[in-house]
Structure 1
């Protein structure tokens, strides 16, 4: 009993310190640009992105103006002949968003945030962030395609990011196919699925 009483202050100290550091980093990430934030920007981004990021573009005066979707295709090897064939494009984000809307605390919500963060990094102007984003999307697409073609020998994957402008209020009744879309395709990347379970 005495040993337990001695252990409690140490555990409480560690927990309070961890929470203090966590909230300090999150608050610092939300502050306007300042010397401390600029000096530690990389460490702050690595800690907060993707789970603790906050996107304020939902609100005026700068609401979200475009939607991004991730698709992927694979190169599959024939087990008998070794011939490589390219598959059709598979929508990666659509099924995740549908599952997330039906169950807000599902594992699909975590994967969707991972993909959104990867898309944001991949399309940034910073070369280091582009490489990080490509790795995140490569892993997500490889894992999704591994479940889609579970009995196939997948060798490589290719990413396609579809950016579609959100219509203005006056154009809200126009059909989706009348709105301009931009396509960005990656090079072929090695097949690199995640080891942990992917939401089905």
Structure 2
């Protein structure tokens, strides 16, 4: 009869490495849960003291809300666009026409049985976060989240435009939004809105750092 194969025992070093990895993962999970909990918990001494650190970690990737359980349908048609300022090989600057980024996202979603979160929500939520944290009059950030939401919106836009436009390097971008309320249903007595709101943001300089990890 053939010899029975015996399982190779784990070495002490391998067991120590495995235990260390498990402890690291558990610790990282606990830290993540603690930060997310502090971000949604009522204000307390700990969350107030570490608010900047909590916001820097949670926003915008891990933002929490209750709309998953009580969805609130959109009541307006949004369109976020960008125009880019490029520097060509001849040393001349050129400003592009407006590029409707929302229209691109809608085109990617239409007819897709499993549209991605990126196409459905990323641009809209980035814009909403920026608007909520910047003053309308002079676009100054309101609170610690202002700089984060500005950088996030810029990076979302740069993901869609890339580093170059029509063969020239992008050196700055300008983002704008157009919003029109959805008409109420026929059976409603609510009057339809006949106005469209616009918001034009300042030009933002684009550096190599802005393209990191995009």
TM-score normalized with structure 2 length:
0.67
Q: In proportion to residue count, which structure has more helix?
A: 1
Q: Does 1:40 align with 2:56?
A: no
Partner Cα distance (1:171, 1:89) in 2: 37
- Residue 154 of structure 2 is matched in structure 1 by 138
CA RMSD of aligned residues (A): 3.7
**Greater gyration radius:** 2
If the length of structure 1 is used for normalisation, what is the TM-score? 0.71
**Count of residue pairs brought into register by the alignment:** 191
Residues in 2 aligned to 1:194 and 1:111: alpha-carbon distance in whole angstroms: 22
Aligned pairs (5 A) from 1:81-100: 82-96=91-105, 98-99=107-108
Q: Is the 8 A contact 2:88 2:167 kept in 1?
A: no
Give unmatched runs, 5+ long, in structure 1. none
**Could you give the per-residue CA deviations for residues 3-45 of structure 1, whole angstroms, max 9, x where no partner exists?**
2223333222222222122112222222233332222222112
**2:205 paired residue number:** 190
Equivalent pair of 1:51/1:113 in contact (CA under 8 Å): no
- Equivalent position of 1:113 in the other structure: 122
Give the 3-state SS of the residue equivalent to 1:187 in structure 2. strand
Alpha-carbon contact 1:49-1:117 (below 8 Å) kept? no
Go from structure 1 to structure 2 and tell me whether the alpha carbon gap of 1:158 and 1:65 turns closer, same or farther (over 3 Å shift).
same
- For structure 2, the 5+ residue unaligned runs are 1-10, 135-141
